[in-house]
Amino acid sequence: MRQSTTRRRERTMGAPIVVKLYGELDYPSAARTNRRLDPVTAGDRPHMVLDLTRVDFLDCGGIGVLCRARRRARAHGGRLSLVITDPRILRTLDAVGLTGSFDILGAAPDTARPVDDGPCTTGGGGSVTSAAAPHS
């Protein structure tokens, strides 16, 4: 019997795409925020970092946004991390038992550079902007 010598190719994740969220991540802003995040999590092996350092408020709608983004990234073989520095946001995630479900970082990775693709209001005067890794 002949063995196959074909190597399995695994595509590695590149530098992360950092999406900065501003203002209130809440139920009224959830659909609009999902529309902005869905294209980022739709690719092959997406590596996304959601920077929540400028998020003032997080409710069940915002938690749904985070869970949806994580689920979509994983479904495409990727990964999602959160940048959280506000103890109130951490307490909210902890209260619903989700702190262990996310990779939580203290700062965004240095490998990404800001890209201004036009802010999108998330709620309460906030916006969504993204930063993409440099292309090699």
pTM score of the predicted model: 0.75
For helices 60-75 and 27-41, what crossing angle results, to 10°? Answer: 10
Those residues with Cβ within 8 angstroms of residue 31's Cβ, 6 or more apart along the chain or in another chain: none
Phi, psi torsion values for 83, nearest 5 degrees: -100, 115
- Mean residue pLDDT across the chain: 80
Q: What digits encode the pLDDT tens for the residues 73-99?
A: 999 999 999 999 999 999 999 999 999
Query: Can you say whether the dihedral through the CA atoms of 26, 33, 16, 110 is positive or negative?
Result: negative
Q: What digits encode the pLDDT tens for the residues 34-61?
A: 999 999 999 899 999 999 999 999 999 9
End-to-end Cα spacing for the chain? 43
